[in-house]
């Protein structure tokens, strides 16, 4: 009869010890999470503030402005094409510089 009490008491003490270890690990994890959350809290406070911007009303374009608008559009299209060609050129150069062993 004394062995069953001893085994039961050991099981209860072991489970309490295990719960204490799990609780301690959880406490340490929450402590680290709280430390990591402090910068996020300040960022959330900044995001909660309204963003004040000055909006200017759109102006109507006339036929006199058409030349400027078309020139600017061509510049944007050319810049986009140039950037894609530069990217392609850099990629080809990178592939050519790679040391591939084709054995």
Indicate whether 15 pLDDT > 80. yes
Distance of CA 4 to the CA centre of its chain: 56
Same domain, 38 and 75: no
Same domain, 47 and 70: no
- Range of the structural domain that residue 20 is part of: 1-51
Same domain, 3 and 26: yes
Single out the residue of 5, 3, 26, 7 nearest to residue 15, CA to CA. 7
Same domain, 10 and 46: yes
Q: Are 61 and 69 in contact (CB under 8 A)?
A: yes
Q: What's the whole-model pTM score?
A: 0.38
Indicate whether 69 pLDDT > 70. yes
- The pLDDT tens digits of the residues spanning 73-91 come to 999 999 999 999 999 999 9
Residues 6+ apart with CB under 8 A from 62: none
CA atoms of 84 and 103, how far apart (whole Å): 33
Least confident window among 13-17, 62-66, 82-86: 62-66
């Amino acid at each position: 009869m004394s062995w069953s009490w001893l085994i039961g008491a050991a099981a209860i003490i072991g489970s309490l010890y295990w719960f204490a270890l799990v609780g301690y690990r959880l406490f340490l994890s929450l402590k680290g999470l709280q430390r990591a959350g402090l910068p996020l809290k300040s960022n959330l406070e900044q995001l909660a503030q309204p963003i004040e911007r000055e909006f200017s009303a759109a102006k109507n374009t006339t036929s006199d402005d058409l030349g400027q608008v078309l020139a600017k559009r061509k510049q944007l299209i050319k810049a986009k094409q140039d950037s894609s060609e530069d990217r392609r050129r850099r990629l080809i150069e990178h592939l050519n510089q790679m040391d591939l062993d084709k054995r």
